[in-house]
Amino acid sequence: MSVVVIGAGLAGCEAAYFLAEHDLSVVLLEMKPKKFTPAHSSPAFCELVCSNSLKSDDVYGNACGLLKEEMRRLGSLTMKAAEYARVPAGGALAVDREKFSAFVTDAIKTHPHIRICEEEAEKLPASGIVATGPLTSDPLAEDIRRRFGVLHFYDASAPIVSAASVDMGMAFSSDRYGKGTGDYLNCPMTKEEYLAFVAALSSAERTLLREFEKGDVFEGCMPVEVMAARGTDTLRFGPFKPVGLEWQGRRPYAVLQLRRENAEGTSYGLVGCQTNLKFSEQKRVFSLIPALRHAEFERYGVMHRNTFLDSPRCLNADFSSRDGRDLFFAGQMTGVEGYVESAASGLICGYHVLRRALGKETVVPPATTVLGALSRYIAAPNRDFQPMNANYGILAGGFEDVRDKRERRRLLAERALTEIESYRASLEL
């Protein structure tokens, strides 16, 4: 049996690799390098566009950290690649983008059970996995729209600067509360400097202004200028918060953090600074931050439209189509939001398609696991369906009598990992 997988992003590669590892023949369709989306530029697979961070790696205190551990125990290719390409990032799991992508690309291209077709899919297949992402090319997007309808929102990425161009006399290495090994560069600001920056940011010229005025911006990737417009202190209590940091013997008024983009430490991304400003305005405004006054921008922030299905109407909890159970969808187009969540959906799609190929019924992970909770979220009735990150709010309840939040999360994590191990064992794959 041969399984068609469309799209060689995080979800598509996870699904293809899992199926191939279980001896199914996979045909992976990917339109790169013949054609690129507006946000992609590398011919390699699993190109990380918005950020190089896979968020917290705290298994027992963070839902995304827990999801990553669930994926590791299910044999995730993304997690193997992330460990290989890891760069220091305090308590977060961040990667060297090029090494990460190269690892996945090599694993896919050298696998004996995967055949790669460099062509654009223009129609939905009768069966297989569609994992073409939020920037699905127009012909296929139109075919999906005719059959299912779609929703969309706007997403943004942050600028990247050269490490050598950061004024180290106005920056310091430290992680919040001393966690990590000094993996972040911190750019402190006085009250006057912060207010001048916010004023410039709020009045700077943007692109696609009309689209943003419609309000179709995902909260998880809110452009920094939109946050600044919500109030003078919004950034200072958000991505620019100075808590847990100290410089010259006291807490700064506000701090911009820079996170390493590659293993060599030659490039740094501006944390929390997703933006839709024109490129010239990005250079002008961010250069008002003292440590970045001579910054050389290796990449400016960009914004693009993300498309996703009205999944509660279209999909089952096993990510199969309600009107054709041999057709599966995976990744951000299903309404899971984030690199890790997208990869996780591809991994579980691989499990479901394998069981279907073996003549067995699909089995959704328990609701007490993050993977199971996300699976149920995308299929549950919801009149105002919006993309969802991994979080404790969607997990099945339990331990409500435990008042200490950290302890309750530890108990939830232990239960989830026990359940995911039992789930894996019960599938007998």
Secondary structure class of 25 (helix, strand, coil): strand
Per-residue pLDDT averaged across 242-255, rounded? 94
CA 61 to chain CA centroid, nearest Å = 19
- Of the pLDDT bands very low, low, confident and very high (cuts 50, 70, 90), residue 50 is confident
User: Is the same domain home to 10 and 114?
Assistant: yes
> What pLDDT, in 10s, does the model give residues 71-126?
999 999 999 999 999 998 888 999 999 999 999 999 999 999 999 999 999 999 99
User: Is the same domain home to 141 and 82?
Assistant: yes
Per-residue pLDDT averaged across 376-395, rounded? 88
- The CA distance from 310 to 317, in Å, is 13
Contact 335, 314 (CB under 8 A): no
> What pLDDT, in 10s, does the model give residues 269-286?
999 999 989 999 999 999
Contact 396, 367 (CB under 8 A): yes
Per-residue pLDDT averaged across 228-251, rounded? 94
pLDDT at 209: 44
- The CA distance from 404 to 315, in Å, is 37
Q: What tokens does 366 get?
A: 């328990």
The residue behind tokens 């931050």 is 289
Closest CA to 241 of 230, 256, 220: 256
Per-residue pLDDT averaged across 408-419, rounded? 96
CATH number at 59 reads 3.50.50.60
> What pLDDT, in 10s, does the model give residues 16-34?
999 999 999 999 999 998 8
User: Is the same domain home to 184 and 316?
Assistant: no
Strand 172-173 and strand 184-189: the pairing is: antiparallel
User: Is the same domain home to 365 and 248?
Assistant: no
User: Is the same domain home to 145 and 177?
Assistant: no
Helix axes 63-73, 370-379, angle to 10 degrees: 100
User: Is the same domain home to 24 and 59?
Assistant: yes
pLDDT at 393: 84
Does pLDDT of 210 surpass 50? no
Q: Which residues contact 393 (CB under 8 A, 6 or more apart)?
A: none
- By CB neighbour count within 10 A (0-12 exposed, 13-18 middle, 19+ buried), where does 168 fall? exposed
pLDDT at 208: 59
Instruction: Determine if residue 304 is left, alpha or beta; phi over 0 gives left, psi from -120 to 50 gives alpha, anything else beta.
Output: beta
State which of 274, 301, 328 marks the end of a domain: 301
State which of 258, 283, 301 marks the end of a domain: 301
pLDDT at 428: 77
- The CA distance from 285 to 346, in Å, is 39
State which of 285, 301, 317 marks the end of a domain: 301
Work out the mean pLDDT of the chain and round it to a whole number: 91
As for how many domains the chain has, the answer is 2
User: Is the same domain home to 276 and 388?
Assistant: no
User: Is the same domain home to 182 and 204?
Assistant: yes
Indicate the DSSP class of residue 163. G
- Of the pLDDT bands very low, low, confident and very high (cuts 50, 70, 90), residue 220 is low
Does pLDDT of 215 surpass 90? no
Per-residue pLDDT averaged across 53-80, rounded? 96
pLDDT at 320: 98
User: Is the same domain home to 43 and 65?
Assistant: yes
CATH number at 239 reads 2.40.30
**Domain hosting residue 178, numbered range:** 160-301
User: Is the same domain home to 144 and 166?
Assistant: no
Question: pTM higher than 0.85, yes or no?
Answer: no
- Of the pLDDT bands very low, low, confident and very high (cuts 50, 70, 90), residue 216 is low
Does pLDDT of 39 surpass 60? yes
Per-residue pLDDT averaged across 310-321, rounded? 96
User: Is the same domain home to 380 and 266?
Assistant: no
pLDDT at 91: 87
pLDDT at 153: 73
Per-residue pLDDT averaged across 200-222, rounded? 66
For the chain, first and last CA: distance in Å?
16
Does pLDDT of 400 surpass 70? yes
DSSP secondary structure of 210-257: HHHHTT-B-GGG--HHHHHHT-TTTTTTTTT--TT--BTTB--SEEEE
Most confident of the following: 30-39, 135-144, 221-230, 247-256: 247-256
pLDDT at 383: 80
User: Is the same domain home to 173 and 137?
Assistant: no
DSSP secondary structure of 170-220: G-EE--GGG-SSS-EEEEEE-HHHHHHHHHHHHHS-BSSHHHHHTT-B-GG
